[in-house]
Copies of this chain bind each other. A is one copy, B any other.
Amino acid sequence: MSNNPKIIDFYFDLSSPYGYIGAQGIAAVAGRHDYAVCWKPILLGPILKQTGHKPLAQVPLMGEYSLHDIQRCCRRLNIDFTLPDPFPIPTVTAARACYWQQNFDAEAAKQLILALYRAYFTENRNISRAPVVLEVCREQGLDVTALTEALTGQALKDHLRQATANALSRGVFGSPFFIVDDEPFWGADRLPDLDDWLTEDGW
């Protein structure tokens, strides 16, 4: 593209194990090509309604396979992983907190996303609960009093709803989903392809 902004849009649900795996690798891929990552937490629930699919864990056969595959991928990539309970969970509050922090500091928001993923997938902390989200935010040095107030407002709700709607309008149907220069890549296992795509300027 003539006016390439050199951005990778990274869509993920904070309850998605493959999103967690993708989050561990995307920054390094982007960095190799001097691209920035735009971290976009979304809610998979409304998206699955469009495709008519159930959450992965609830799909017969595929659910069992994917739990096996997630752990196999994590072993391969040396990524800590413990299947949390409950799983999956709604991540509305967690995602809103990330967008709140993005208003002030994109790097800190990225660190918060990684901390929320760690809390859920390595420490079994239930980040569907607002007190747990606030606890993680406090550990990350956020102004939890201001955040608590912002979480009651309409602006953050609209922000997340709009982010999910935008994702859908761009064809995002799963997590993680990467879009770079309008080229879509679905799945954490496609990060090496995305890397090659940027190296070779497509194929």
Contact = CB atoms under 8 A, between A and B. Distances in A.
Interface string A38-78: 00000000000011111000011110110011001001100
A79 to B, nearest CB: 13
A25 interface: no
Contacts of A76: 193, 203
B51 A62 contact: yes
Interface string A166-193: 0010011110000000001010011001
A168 B171 CA distance: 31
Nearest to A72: B203
Contacts of A173: 59-62, 65
B52 A171 contact: no
